[in-house]
Amino acid sequence: DAKTTQPTSMDCAEGRAANLPCNHSTISGNEYVYWYRQIHSQGPQYIIHGLKNNETNEMASLIITEDRKSSTLILPHATLRDTAVYYCIVRVPYGGSQGNLIFGKGTKLSVKP
Amino acid sequence: DVKVTQSSRYLVKRTGEKVFLECVQDMDHENMFWYRQDPGLGLRLIYFSYDVKMKEKGDIPEGYSVSREKKERFSLILESASTNQTSMYLCASSLGGLYNEQFFGPGTRLTVL
């Protein structure tokens, strides 16, 4: 079972920041938080990951709370092409079955003009 | 860019047929994965492989087998297709070691009649 809880759906206005929350209250000390997204009719796409510090890349920012029990993915200026299902996943950062991705239901983000 | 390709985007087969789904990656990744995706159930791992000729069962291996004779190619086999195997099948690959983000193919939508 997925170890994360996300809202089922969210709306965001085009050009505004999209903030997607994720709860992972049972996360263990060596587990990372990963975010993927899946645009309709395509395979999932990696976005970002982090352990405890905030992370930023060209796609998004990841804010992890100090107790690591929750995180927020931020798309700073959402566009219509960001409409997708966003998955928050916790996993250990090594190979073997323990490191496999377990996808939950995700959050369907709809960016509206 | 990493490219993961799947042999077909759409496939229609009859009950009892043997079905081969092919996946090829061009980035010399050690790890390859097969998932199926169904509405309301998310992505579920069928099989994965961390090396040539090596395979491990995922969460739902029943009714499937896999083959990895070459590093770049991972095949999913439905020995005798059934209607409950109608689904979207996604292949992914990743480097070995830490932080191994997975790169997904576009998916094959299989319909078994």
Tens-level pLDDT at each residue, chain B (113 residues) = 669 999 999 999 999 999 999 999 998 998 899 999 998 888 899 999 988 999 999 889 999 999 999 999 999 999 999 999 999 999 999 887 655 688 999 999 999 99
pLDDT of B40 reads 81
A21 touches chain B (CB under 8 A): no
Task: Give CA–CA dist A16/B67, Å, rounded.
Answer: 46
pLDDT of B100 reads 67
Q: Which residue reads 């405890």 in tokens?
A: A52
- Across the beta sheet with A18-23, the strand order is A18-23, A70-75, A61-64, A55-56
- What does DSSP say about strands B4-6 and B103-104: parallel, antiparallel, or unpaired? unpaired
Would the pLDDT of A97 be above 80? no
A110 touches chain B (CB under 8 A): no
pLDDT of B39 reads 86
Chain B residues with CB under 8 Å of A94 CB are 97-98
B98 touches chain A (CB under 8 A): yes
B33, B59, B89, B100, best to mutate vs chain A, most A CBs in 10 Å: B100
pLDDT of B97 reads 63
Q: Which residue reads 């579920």 in tokens?
A: B44
Of the partner residues A43, A93, A95, the one whose CB lies closest to the CB of residue B106 = A43
Please name the amino acid found at residue B108.
T
Q: Between chains, do A42 and B103 touch, taking CB under 8 Å as contact?
A: no
Euclidean distance between the first and the last CA atom of chain A, given in angstroms as a whole number? 35
Q: Which token pair is A37?
A: 């997204």
pLDDT of B47 reads 94
pLDDT tens for A3-59 read 899 999 999 999 999 999 999 999 988 889 999 999 988 899 999 999 998 999 999
pLDDT of A3 reads 84
Q: How much helix, strand and coil, in percent to the nearest 5, is found in chain A?
A: 5, 45, 50
Nearest one of A101, A103, A110 to A81, comparing CA atoms = A110
Please name the amino acid found at residue A102.
I
Give the residue ranges of DSSP H helices in chain B: none
Dihedral in degrees, nearest 10, Cα atoms A47, B67, B84, B111: 80
pLDDT of A19 reads 98
pLDDT, average across residues A73-80: 97
Q: Between chains, do A43 and B50 touch, taking CB under 8 Å as contact?
A: no
pLDDT of B41 reads 82
Of the partner residues B30, B48, B101, the one whose CB lies closest to the CB of residue A100 = B48
Q: Between chains, do B102 and A42 touch, taking CB under 8 Å as contact?
A: no
pLDDT of A82 reads 97
- Cα angle value B81/B84/B110 (rounded, 5°): 65
Residue B71, SS3 per DSSP: coil
pLDDT tens for B60-76 read 999 999 999 999 999 99
- Gap from A102 CA to chain B (nearest CA, Å): 7
Confidence of residue A94 (pLDDT cuts 50, 70, 90): low
Chain A residues with CB under 8 Å of B46 CB are none
Nearest one of A79, A89, A2 to A39, comparing CA atoms = A79
Task: Give CA–CA dist A93/B53, Å, rounded.
Answer: 24
Chain A residues with CB under 8 Å of B103 CB are 46
B47 touches chain A (CB under 8 A): no
Nearest one of B24, B31, B1, B6 to B95, comparing CA atoms = B31
